[in-house]
Structure 1
Amino acid sequence: MSALARNRVGQYEVASDLSFGDLSAAVAAGWRDFRAAPLYGLFFAAIFAAAGIGLSYYFYNRGELAWLIAAAAGFPLLAPFAAAGLYEVSRRRLSGDSIGWGPVLGAVKAGDGQLPVMGVIAFVIFAFWVILAHTVFGVFLGQSGLGATPLQTLLTPAGLGMLGVGSAIGGIVALFLFAITVVSLPMLIDREVDFITAIIVSVRVVQLNTFLMLSWAVIIALLAFAAMAPAFVGLLVVLPLLGHATFHLYRRAVR
């Protein structure tokens, strides 16, 4: 099989030579998009941050620290869908089209409902992760819980075992969701394509550019968790930057 054939998914040609120069250029372009149209980024980021604060308050108020930890660890998995409108902003800036709230908010209906289907898939995966994480917590700390000194509890053999197993499972779930969404979501905004084809293209991009795409996944995870630390405030900058940058990386990956 020729290299060209390996790099094609239907009518789409998938790049196999993405470099850190491409990634750097995508991030720079994403930052320019955010600076050029900041209100859209702040709007979607504020909604996502408010959802995170509300979810945290709900579990904390009920004293469900185990569920809170599980939900907080998996919450960044939903971030790509909060950026759907940002993909549309980047698409319009790139094509020279006018930008308005109507088309940007309408981006969630992209592809005759294909994007909402992806949203349902992601939410199911998120719920599955929360249940898995709570189960791991119960296996290791079910009897004692976190106690009065959560940090000390996490440093015990049982706590470290929970963190190790939970991180491994979470990493697998996060990598799976990243692989099927990192290209498929902006692609659904940008082209007339069904979600199955978009997922296949997304996975193919990750396969052909494994090291670079895994590096991008790690960068996203680190920035997202760091942005969540100060009461989710950091998401007001991080989410728009990552959303716009992801769109430009997709445009470099699918030619």
Structure 2
Amino acid sequence: MDEEKQARARSFFVRNDLELADLWLALKKGWQDYRTYPAFGLLLSALFVIGGLAISYSLISRGETVWLVPATAGFPILAPFTAVGLYEVSRLREARMRPDWKAVLSAMKGRGDDQILSMGVIIFVTFGFWMIVAHGVYAIFLGNSGIGSDPTAILTTPNGLAMLAIGSLVGGLMALGFYAITVMSLPILVHRDVDVLTAIITSLQAIRDNRGVLLLWAFLVAGLLGLAMIPAFFGLLVILPVLGHATWHLYRRTVQST
């Protein structure tokens, strides 16, 4: 079985000629997919929004509002796993097949070999690790300041501003590394019967060979997701599905069959 997967892994290659126009085309196709089958995007993104609201409510109700900043900043890390179902919708539409919930939910479970589940574990562990790092940065800068859980301290004290700067830098580097291993790997796992390591290596190769365009895509995705979370995450009901579908089309432009 491993030899069969290795053979399938050799049946595709990564293009190195992505252009800025490809990003616009991917967004255009993503919007078309969302308009054609909006129910899938609305429901999947609604679950994501509910999760965000639940985390926010939990922190506020416990008087830990200072953690809203790192939780909100790290929450988009979970978005790629939510987008797995959207990749399947785009794949079926591309194949001129009508998507249904059975097919979409089956795609989210994977091919029965736990590869997508393994990637899901990586995603959730990454989010948990980010929260641990955020706690560490907070402890360094504000842990002994006596400020407590006052969120205004972040913007009104030197230590708070330093924490925000260092936390943003560390979080940005973590997010960039996470983006590099997932931007192509999850669409690959939906589309092809390969192992998670091959998918991650292919994603890293795509970043290496198309560094400028795919880094711009990373900043564009981060910016749009950030704006969509203001206020109360509701912009994600549109932005998240469109970006999910668009990522599928960007994958199809980047990783092609031999």
Match of 2:140 in 1: 139
Equivalent pair of 1:29/1:244 in contact (CA under 8 Å): yes
Cα separation, partners in 2 of 1:16 and 1:148, compared to 1, 3 Å: closer
Q: Which residue does the alignment assign to 2:43?
A: 43
Q: Residues 125 and 165 (structure 1 numbering): CA distance in 2 closer, same or farther, change over 3 Å?
A: same
The structure-2 alpha-carbon separation of the partners of 1:162 and 1:29, relative to structure 1 and needing over 3 Å to count, comes to same
What is the DSSP-based 3-state SS (H/G/I as helix, E as strand, rest coil) of the residue aligned with 2:193? coil
Quote the Cα distance in structure 2 between the aligned partners of 1:223 and 1:103. Answer: 28
2 CA distance for matches of 1:178 and 1:70? Answer: 18
- Give the match for residue 216 of structure 2: 215
| CA–CA separation in structure 1 for the residues paired with 2:164 and 2:200 | 30
Quote the residue 1:164 is aligned against.
165
Structure 1 residues 19, 146: closer, same or farther in 2, change over 3 A? farther
The answer to whether the 8 Å contact 2:66/2:150 transfers is no
Alignment match, 1:6? none
Query: Counterpart of 1:29?
Result: 29
Query: Which residue is equivalent to 2:102?
Result: 102
Letter in 2 for 1:15: R
Name the structure 2 match of 1:3.
none
Give distance in 2, aligned partners of 1:216 and 1:194: 25
1:91 equivalenced with 2:86 (yes/no): no
AA partner of residue 119 (structure 1): G
Percent of residue pairs identical: 51
Compute the displacement of 1:66 (Å).
Answer: 3.4
**Superposed CA offset, 1:131-162 (max 9, x none):** 10111012111133656863464242211211
Give me the whole-angstrom Cα distance separating, in 2, the residues matched to 1:216 and 1:237. 18
Structure 2-normalised TM-score?
0.92
- The one-letter amino acid of 2:42's match is L
Alignment of 1:176 onto 2:191: no
Classify 1:161/1:243 alpha carbon distance in 2 versus 1 (closer, same or farther; 3 Å).
same
Q: Secondary structure at the match of 2:233?
A: coil
Distance 1:65 1:87, change over 3 A: same
Matches within 5 A, 1:57-68: 57-68=57-68
137 and 149 in structure 1: CA distance in 2 versus 1, 3 angstrom threshold: closer
Q: Quote the residue 2:73 is aligned against.
A: 73
SS at match of 2:231: coil
Give, in whole Å, the separation in 2 of the partners of 1:204 and 1:123.
23
Q: Would the aligned equivalents of 2:86 and 2:244 in 1 still touch at CA under 8 Å?
A: yes
Show structure 1 runs of 5+ residues with no match: 1-8
Aligned length: 247
Structure 2 unaligned regions, length at least 5: 1-8
Contact 2:65–2:149 (CA<8 Å) still a contact in 1? no
Moved more, 147-156 or 112-121: 147-156
Structure 1 residues 57-94: Cα deviation after superposition (integer angstroms, max 9, x where no partner): 11111112233322111000110111110000000000
TM-score (norm 1): 0.93
Cα offsets for 1:149-195 (capped at 9, x unmatched): 63464242211211111011101110111001000001111111111
In 1, Cα distance between the equivalents of 2:154 and 2:100?
A: 50
- Residues 183 and 14 of structure 1: is their aligned pair in 2 closer, same or farther, counting only changes over 3 Å? same
SS at match of 1:150: coil
Partner of 2:55: 55
